């Protein structure tokens, strides 16, 4: 090994030592890419567990679920959760193309959430104006957290599953500052509900 090689090795060793010593300070200045950025959306049953979800529902009876959102986007986020209600033939969101359901929301929650924080809400819902005729069920009023929404939802008797099926679902939207608007965040969760008559 000649003198030039030793000199290069010495300089490289000094540079490596400087980087090790300065690494805590460099971490404050250099913003390295973090892990995957994502949001969570979930529903828990009335016991605050992933069980005992409402299924066989009656008019005038209140039902409770817990709706939650987790922010792992690496920054403060402004969220909207759209509450939607459909019969078995109306459209769900299209996850493959990141498109929301074309249905209008019946209710909406909006909130800011800091990075690595969660938001959770007890959602109380019920139905009024429910009627049955032949093989058809009609729901004309949906109540969520004390807010009433009038509409006309019709479900046809599902012979193979023995019920009148509706679905309550929640879409997650996030505010995009670039377009100054909320956009669908390609996450949704839902509950199948079988509207039944009191016997």
Residues 148-190 pLDDT 10s? 999 999 999 999 999 999 999 999 999 999 999 999 999 999 9
Q: What is the pLDDT of residue 8?
A: 67
**What distance in Å separates the CA atoms of residue 10 and residue 25, rounded to the nearest whole number?**
24
| Pair (88, 114) in one structural domain | yes
Regarding whether 154 and 180 lie in a shared domain, the answer is yes
Contacts of 65 (CB under 8 A, 6+ apart): 43, 44, 45, 46, 53, 54, 122, 123, 125, 191
Q: Do residues 132 and 162 both lie within one domain?
A: yes
Beta strand pairing call for 63-72 and 136-144: unpaired
pLDDT digits (tens, 9 = 90+) for 61-114: 999 999 999 999 999 999 999 999 999 999 999 999 999 999 999 999 999 999
CA–CA separation, 162 vs 45, rounded Å? 23
What is the predicted pLDDT for the residue at 26? 47
Q: 105 and 11, same structural domain?
A: no
Q: Are residues 87 and 131 in the same domain?
A: yes
Number of domains in the chain: 2
Pick 98 or 22 by higher pLDDT: 98
Res 139: pLDDT: 96
77 and 144 inside one domain: yes
Output the pLDDT for position 195: 95
On whether the pTM is more than 0.75, the answer is yes
Residues 19 and 80 in one domain: no
Q: In which domain, by residue range, is 124 found?
A: 38-195
CATH of the domain at 189: 2.60.40.10
Least confidently predicted of 7-11, 53-57, 110-114, 148-152:
7-11
17 near 157, Cβ under 8 Å?
A: no
Residues 24 and 114 in one domain: no
Average pLDDT of the residues of the chain: 89
18 and 45 together in one domain: no
């Amino acid at each position: 090994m000649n003198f030039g090689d030793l000199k290069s090795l010495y300089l490289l060793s000094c540079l490596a030592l400087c980087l090790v010593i300065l690494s805590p300070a460099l971490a404050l200045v250099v913003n390295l890419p973090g892990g995957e950025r994502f949001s969570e959306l979930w529903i828990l049953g009335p016991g605050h567990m992933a069980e005992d979800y409402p299924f066989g529902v009656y008019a005038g009876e209140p039902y409770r679920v817990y709706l939650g959102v987790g922010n792992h986007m690496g920054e403060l986020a402004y969220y909207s959760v759209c509450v939607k209600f459909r019969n078995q033939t109306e459209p769900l969101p299209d996850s493959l193309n990141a498109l929301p359901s074309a249905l209008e929301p019946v209710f909406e929650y909006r909130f800011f959430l800091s990075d690595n924080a969660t938001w959770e809400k007890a959602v109380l819902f019920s139905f009024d104006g429910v009627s049955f005729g032949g093989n058809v069920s009609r729901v004309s009023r949906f109540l969520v957290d004390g807010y009433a929404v009038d509409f006309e939802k019709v479900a046809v008797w599902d012979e193979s599953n023995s019920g009148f099926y509706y679905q309550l679902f929640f879409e997650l939207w996030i505010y995009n500052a670039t377009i100054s608007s909320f956009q669908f965040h390609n996450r949704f969760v839902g509950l199948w509900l079988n509207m039944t008559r009191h016997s």
